[in-house]
Structure 1
């Protein structure tokens, strides 16, 4: 049992503290954006799983009240001393309060983000019109060139009449391919999950770095999908024409003024040789990291809880 709990603690330290700086160093190397996104997501998932396993083990360890609850039928709790049981109850109360405080920071933030997206979609239904040529596009009558996507079952991509006027047919197609890649790869869900984890565990280096790095990596991953469909120059031209557009809260856009520095990095990457496909050995190592980062804490936590449930 001690070995399993120690493994969970080590998982939090390795994934929550050390993995972030290492992945940050690999961001500009031969690792492609899709591979990097998978590694960041696995590190965050493994960190959350290990932290939840530690909390569960602390609540269920004898003579804690959680252990007594699971072993009620075996009448286990009376076998422990009163002082030990009282100390475990106090420690459990403190741990439960800490977990509740963490959830109280994160869950309201998640609720506000979901409500904001829902209000945004409702507003678009009132002011935007459907594009007859593209079944997934809403057209907003506005002179500013804007293009972005929101998670929705119908008409998830929003473009302005200004964007339609300034973009050529190939550039407009590249923008749509970019936004469709965001929707197809569930980038909005990933960003929402990262925001939730950051609200609950902001002190971990991996979480802080993921909050800062993932948006750019997701844009690069969508850029690659657009380039495969329409080529590099149409996308670069579209990014430059849309660079003055403001970013939309809760949405993913091809370009925006607040991300001007990141936009320049994306353009330089598209025009240079930095978009080369990662080597097979790099992809294999990344795949092994993704599997290990999720499977190891999940297995250790499951075995630890199973042992606690059967131990008096």
Structure 2
């Protein structure tokens, strides 16, 4: 239990404290780095919680628990001195909760995957009748509609749906920027990322990190796709195309990414003020690890402080 406590406390800190910190620094980080921080934090929260349970159910002491026994010996002695049924109750409860969460994640994920697959296949079948393909852009299906609109449909393979009004309302560079944006969603796996966030939010709605993830990550992937399109074309082309397409009254399909939260002004400002260069992988890796590392260190410090307090009381 000596090692399990800081792990569990770290998972709680990540789940409840990190979202506010990420929102506070969101305007200073590139979308790719911010996305790595959100995904890394969610993965860390789940990893720490699962690791805490594994430590609790380990037949003897976990292999690395000896490393922390020295700094938490007083707390450990206090914990071992309590009735055995207390530890068994804590372990049983933790295993039950984690097992229930795991089952709910699997069931919710399977349900979402079936629903999305059904809608995609129906959509693909209908478009094969009413849409046309351009030989020069085989991954784009064109609809004869006067209003400008484009969206991407994930799958194997994924494809982009665009209206003839898009070509009519935009210049060639602006049109290429819109298509590059939608292709960035497909190549970046953004639909799967947002879908996973939606599953975790449905299963763990009481944890702020997971509850806020669908909206936050949905907005971030739009910014990320904008910057990719800006690198392929130019920031000016993306800005002007976004200004035109955002005024279209056509609704985005519920299962497409779309402009989540209506953050067009934020996207335009990001393209004006931000650097569209792609960040280094090392920077993204650090961003994915730092939030969980800081909160876990705080959790360990709290555990040590509590151990010292208990030690002072008992001695």
| Fold in common (TM above 0.5) | yes
Q: CA deviation digits over 1:57-91, x for unaligned, max 9?
A: 56x4569xxxxxxxxxxxxxxxxxxx899979975
Contact 1:106–1:199 (8 Å) recurs in 2: no
Q: Distance in 2 between matches of 1:5 and 1:84?
A: 15
Structure 1 residue 113 displacement after superposition: 3.2
| 102 and 34 in structure 1: CA distance in 2 versus 1, 3 angstrom threshold | closer
Write out aligned runs for 1:194-209 (5 A): 194-209=197-212
Counterpart of 1:270 in structure 2 is: 271
How far apart are residue 106 of structure 1 and its match?
5.4
Contact conserved, 1:11 with 1:46, CA < 8 A, in 2? no
Unmatched tracts of structure 1, length 5 or more: 64-82, 298-312
Q: Give 1:231-310 correspondences, 5 Å limit.
A: 231-243=234-246, 244=248, 245-253=250-258, 259-260=261-262, 262-271=263-272, 273-275=273-275, 287-291=285-289
Q: How does 1:117-266 map to 2 (within 5 A)?
A: 117-154=120-157, 156-243=159-246, 244=248, 245-253=250-258, 259-260=261-262, 262-266=263-267
In structure 1, distance between residues paired with 2:91 and 2:32: 46
The match for 2:3 is: 4
1:32, 1:277 within 8 Å by CA — same for their partners in 2?
A: no
Aligned to 1:73: none
Alignment of 1:15 onto 2:14: yes
**TM-score normalized by the length of structure 1:** 0.73
Instruction: State the shift of 1:236 in Å.
Output: 1.3
What SS does the aligned partner of 1:136 have?
A: strand
C-alpha distance after superposition, 1:108-135 (max 9, x if no partner):
3443234333332333223222122202
Mapped to 2, the partners of 1:56 and 1:120 lie a distance apart of 44
Q: Give the distance between the partners of 1:235 and 1:122, measured in 2 at CA.
A: 31
**TM-score between both structures, scaled by the size of structure 2:** 0.72
Give the whole-Å Cα distance in 2 for the aligned partners of 1:265 and 1:164.
25
Query: How many residues in Structure 1 have an aligned counterpart in Structure 2?
Result: 269
**Equivalents in 1 of 2:19, 2:96: separation in Å?**
29
Which residues in structure 2 correspond to 1:28-177 (within 5 Å)?
28-29=27-28, 31-56=29-54, 60=57, 91=93, 95=97, 96=99, 100=103, 104=107, 107-154=110-157, 156-177=159-180
CA distance in structure 2 between the partners assigned to 1:199 and 1:285 by the alignment: 30
Deviations 1:153-175 (A, max 9, x none): 34611101121221211111111
Separation in 2, partners of 1:176, 1:97: 42
Range that drifts further, 107-116 or 235-244: 107-116
Mark the runs of 5 or more structure 2 residues left unpaired by the alignment: 61-84, 296-315
**1:78 matched residue in structure 2:** none
Q: CA deviation at 1:44?
A: 1.0
